Each structure stands twice: as structure tokens, then as C-alpha cells.
């Protein structure tokens, strides 16, 4: 079997890297940039840093769309595209977490293609050959969206989180931008990155590149995420987590995630809990589920997490050890169980049709039937 791997765009990494944003926009030959962001990014002063960089190079105009919110909808994309077209921009910069970066990606479609956005954001993703340059600047260490071709957007009309593939141009990863993250967001986004790497390694479309960067990402997360949670201003740990999230994004860019993210999407649409939290709560039992199918791959994850494996563990035991270690990390950062958030076991299990129908489930090495999905959801609820 042949394996294919790629990287959508170059990455510029380092503390203070946002200072060269304006220079890179000018190198692309652009004249007017649209910044796409949410309220939290603006309040943290990060948009001001981006503006300062643009002003220093001179000759560039700026426009702003600050209407992004968590789990952005297709109507948010339409509103951002309206701003882009009215302002006649020729470059889009998404600054923030996955919501801002995915919105920026989706807006780029409508700069040169007729709307509305829902024509392109579908249950089975399509590729759109976008033309406007897109630069992505993460302010969390989680989604890895700055190095993936996919934009995930909510479709309230279908009660789904659907996707589209586009072109991206450049990512700028500046760990200093993550210093203002509160501990809860640090935990959720870091566990999101862990889920990306673990699901990339265990999915049916793994490749040598995803294995390499996925394992490296997990090692960095195991060593640095709790430190970032406990000591938010530790820039060395933040820098390591920024790299880990970036590498985890590279890991799943080609293989795609699998059933853990199917569960997470179902929770997002029905409970509106944060994406990173949803991925985290699903991850331990996702690893337990796939361990009998791909034990050697789950063993790689276990070793990267620092579990002292002998190499003689039965697959089910291996899955249990990895699941327990992930739960230990979650407990150490006070991740709440679904029950404490007010959701019942019956509510959780009732989401099984959404898990089965999600296209990501097809990338799992275990066939996701109704019964498998019900059992997985029950265990997600019962074991944490």
C-alpha cells in the first residue's frame, strides 16, 4: 500500500515571530489585509501586535472582522466574507484559536467564489482551489489549524459540524501569544492536540510523516502541558507546547482524525461544550477501543506518554494503560466529567447516530456500528 504525506504551507516559528507578519504580507504582493479574530484575541492585545507589524513595513491597508465565536457557523463565514468583499482585501490573516483560523480559511473561499458558505461546507468535505493568500497565526497550543488544509464550520441547519479543504499560504507560530491563556483553555487546547496526534497515529490512513511528528508531539505534550497549566508564564513550556500542537496538526493533516472526533463533534452540536474538552473526554476510551486492532500503534502512544511498557502487554491491557494515563493527566488539570456538567448517561448514549454518520468514523481501524458507538459513548460517560 502506498502512503502519501504533505504539508500545506511553510511555518515560521519562534518567540516574537508575529513581528514579521507585515513583512510577509508585503512579500506576497498584497495591498490590503483582513484580520479575522474573536473578542478574546482583541482583548489580549494580540491584534494590536499584528497591526504594529503591518504599520512598520508601510504601504499596507488593514480591515477587520472580529465577529468570530466558538464553533463558528456558516453565517459567521458569510458575514466575514461580506466584509472582505466590501473592503476589497487581497489577503486574509486568521489570528486566534481554531475557530478564528477556520473562519479565515472558509472566508477565503468566498473572496473568489459565489456564496453562501454552506454551498462548500459539506458532510463529506470537498476541496476548493482558493486563490487569496491565507496566513494563520495561532494564539493557543491546540488545534494545529495553522498547518492543516481543513476548515471545520458548524451548520446549524443540519445540526452538524462539517468541513471544507482549501489552500493556505503561511503559518506564523509565536509561543508568546499563548502566555495569556487561562489554565482551563490551556488544558482543553493541549488535550485537543494530544487527541490529534493519537488519532492520526491510530487511524487507517497513517503515514510515516504522521507517525514521526505525532509521536514527537505526544512526548512534548506529556512533558509540558501540565507545566503550562500550573505555571502559565513559563515561556519555555509554552514554546514546547506550541511546537507540539503544530506537529500534532501536521500529524493529522493527511490521515485525518477518527472516531474520537466523531464523538467530539456530536458533543459540540448537542451540548455546545468546548471542542478541546470534547476531544479530551472521548480520547481515553477511543484508545481503549482501537488497541486490540492496532496494538503496536497504541504502544507507541503509551511509550510517548511515559508509560513503562514491557512489550508483552495484551492489547486490551495496553489500551487500558494508555486510557488510564490520559485520564490521570486530565484529572491533574481538573477536567470535569460530563455528569458534573449536568448531562445524563442517556443523553450521551442517544448521540450514537451522530457518531456513526460522521465521516471521520470511517477512518477508525474498528468499524463503528450502532452498537459500537453506543458502547463507546457509555464508556466515555462511565469511566471519567
Report which of 309, 203, 345, 274 is spatially closest to residue 40, judged by C-alpha positions: 274
216 has pLDDT over 90: yes
Binned at pLDDT 50, 70 and 90, residue 181 comes out as very high
Give the pairing type, strands 160-165 and 150-155: antiparallel
Binned at pLDDT 50, 70 and 90, residue 7 comes out as confident
User: How open is the CA angle 368-145-263, to the nearest 5 degrees?
Assistant: 25
Binned at pLDDT 50, 70 and 90, residue 161 comes out as very high
Give the pairing type, strands 170-173 and 134-138: parallel
pLDDT score for 5? 79
Inter-residue contact 166 to 77 (CB < 8 Å): no
338 has pLDDT over 80: yes
Q: Helices 370-382 and 275-290 sit at what angle, rounded to 10 degrees?
A: 110
| Domains, the chain | 11-176 (3.40.50.1970), 183-382 (1.20.1090.10)
The DSSP string of 118-132 is: GGT-BSS--B----S
Binned at pLDDT 50, 70 and 90, residue 186 comes out as very high
pLDDT score for 35? 98
304 has pLDDT over 80: yes
> Which residues have a Cβ under 8 Å from the Cβ of 348 and sit 6 or more positions away?
338, 377, 378, 380, 381
pLDDT score for 293? 98
Residue range 41-55, pLDDT digits in tens: 999 999 999 999 999
Residue range 193-214, pLDDT digits in tens: 999 999 999 999 999 999 999 9
Binned at pLDDT 50, 70 and 90, residue 8 comes out as confident
**Of the listed ranges 6-10, 93-97, 269-273, the one predicted with least confidence:** 6-10
pLDDT score for 163? 96
Binned at pLDDT 50, 70 and 90, residue 166 comes out as very high
1 has pLDDT over 90: no
pLDDT score for 306? 98
Rounded Cα distance between 26 and 239, Å, is: 27
pLDDT score for 111? 97
Look at the chain and count its residues: 384
pLDDT score for 90? 97
pLDDT, mean of residues 109-123: 96
Q: Which three cell numbers mark 150?
A: 481543513
Amino acid at each position: 500500500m502506498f502512503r502519501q504525506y504533505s504539508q500545506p504551507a511553510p511555518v515560521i516559528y519562534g518567540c516574537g515571530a508575529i513581528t514579521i507578519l507585515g513583512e510577509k504580507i508585503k512579500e506576497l504582493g498584497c495591498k490590503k489585509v483582513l484580520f479575522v479574530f474573536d473578542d478574546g484575541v482583541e482583548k489580549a492585545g494580540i491584534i494590536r501586535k499584528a497591526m504594529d507589524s503591518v504599520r512598520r513595513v508601510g504601504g499596507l491597508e488593514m480591515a477587520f472582522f472580529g465577529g468570530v465565536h466558538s464553533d463558528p457557523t456558516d453565517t459567521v463565514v458569510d458575514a466575514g466574507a461580506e466584509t472582505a468583499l466590501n473592503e476589497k482585501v487581497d489577503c486574509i490573516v486568521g489570528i486566534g484559536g481554531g475557530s478564528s483560523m477556520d473562519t479565515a480559511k472558509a472566508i477565503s473561499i468566498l473572496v473568489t467564489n459565489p456564496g453562501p458558505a454552506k454551498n462548500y461546507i459539506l458532510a463529506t468535505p470537498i476541496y476548493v482551489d482558493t486563490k487569496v493568500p491565507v496566513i494563520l497565526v495561532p494564539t493557543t497550543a491546540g488545534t494545529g489549524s495553522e498547518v492543516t488544509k481543513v476548515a471545520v464550520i458548524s451548520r446549524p441547519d443540519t445540526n452538524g459540524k462539517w468541513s471544507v479543504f482549501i489552500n493556505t499560504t503561511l503559518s506564523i507560530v509565536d509561543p508568546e501569544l499563548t502566555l495569556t491563556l487561562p489554565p482551563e483553555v490551556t488544558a482543553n487546547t493541549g488535550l485537543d492536540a494530544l487527541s490529534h496526534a493519537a488519532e492520526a497515529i491510530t487511524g487507517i490512513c497513517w503515514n510515516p510523516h504522521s507517525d514521526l511528528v505525532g509521536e514527537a508531539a505526544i512526548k512534548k505534550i506529556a512533558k509540558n502541558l501540565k507545566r503550562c497549566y500550573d505555571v502559565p508564564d513559563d515561556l519555555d513550556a509554552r514554546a514546547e507546547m506550541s511546537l507540539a500542537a503544530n506537529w500534532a496538526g501536521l500529524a493529522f493533516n493527511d490521515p485525518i482524525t477518527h472516531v474520537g472526533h466523531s464523538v467530539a463533534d456530536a458533543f459540540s452540536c448537542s451540548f455546545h461544550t468546548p471542542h478541546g474538552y470534547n476531544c479530551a473526554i472521548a480520547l481515553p476510551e477511543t484508545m481503549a477501543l482501537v488497541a486490540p486492532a492496532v496494538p503496536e500503534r497504541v504502544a507507541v502512544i503509551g511509550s510517548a506518554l511515559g508509560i513503562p511498557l514491557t512489550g508483552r502487554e495484551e492489547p486490551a491491557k495496553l489500551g487500558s494503560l494508555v486510557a488510564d494515563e490520559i485520564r490521570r493527566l486530565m484529572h491533574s488539570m481538573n477536567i470535569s466529567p460530563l455528569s458534573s456538567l449536568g448531562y445524563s448517561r442517556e443523553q450521551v448514549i442517544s448521540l450514537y447516530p451522530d457518531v456513526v454518520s460522521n465521516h471521520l468514523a470511517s477512518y477508525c481501524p474498528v468499524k463503528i456500528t450502532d452498537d459500537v458507538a453506543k458502547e463507546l459513548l457509555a464508556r466515555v460517560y462511565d469511566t471519567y
